[in-house]
Amino acid sequence: MAYTVVVYMKKILLALFVGLSFGAVIPQIAHAQKLSTTAARKQIQACYNLQEKAMKTENIEIIDGLLSTDYTSYNILRIATDRNAALNTDRFLFRLPSDTLRYETQITSIQPRGVDMIVMTKVTMETVAGSGARSIRTKSIATYRDFWSPFKNSNGWVLRQTVELTAESWANGKKVF
């Protein structure tokens, strides 16, 4: 009987110790995850800043370095585009006779998913083509859900997938869609 009481007491003490330990460890894990999300947000924002620079300077190599080898993008109609087609679309845009006045990506939220990050963004792009009375100014605003994965490169992250959620465009101040 005494042996059973001792074993029972040891189990209670072990359960109490484990419970107190997890009570102390869980907030530390949550804090570490928050710190890593904060650090990831800064690193991914730096990637978006590189993308903005690439769009303004029409530098396809920068964009190429940000995309994973299995990158896929989905437009508003959910039509998939692979990495090569996405890069070719950017090359085509760079050949158009227009100047990018503004290309800005704002992170609206970031959420960890395993080691990856799901990033919601709002992208604003303004261009002008032509000059004088025949010039056309365009403005586009779109929201995206991007999936970033950690990668051993100078950026620390690669873009694996982009899903366009909303899109609006204006030409000379009039809404096109």
Of 164, 161, 148, which Cα lies nearest the Cα of 46?
148
pLDDT of residue 44: 95
pLDDT of residue 10: 44
| Tokens 């070719």 found at | 88
Which residues make beta-bridge pairs with 139? 126, 170
- State phi, psi for 76 to the nearest 5 degrees: -60, -25
Of 137, 100, 131, 121, which Cα lies nearest the Cα of 44?
121
* Cα-to-chain-centroid distance, residue 56: 19
Q: Give domain limits for the chain.
A: 2-175
Pairing status of strand 136-150 against strand 116-129: antiparallel
Per-residue pLDDT of the chain (177 residues; tens, 9 = 90+): 444 444 444 444 344 344 444 444 333 334 334 548 899 999 999 999 999 999 889 999 999 999 999 999 999 999 999 999 999 999 988 888 888 888 899 999 999 999 899 999 999 999 898 877 788 999 999 999 999 999 876 778 999 999 999 999 999 999 998
Rounded CA separation 95/90 (Å): 9
pLDDT of residue 177: 87
CATH of 2-175, one of 1.10.540.10, 3.10.450.50, 3.40.50.150, 3.20.20.140: 3.10.450.50
pLDDT of residue 95: 85
Q: Which residues of 40-65 are buried (b: 16+ CB within 10 A; e: fewer)?
A: beeebbebbebbbebbeebeeebbee
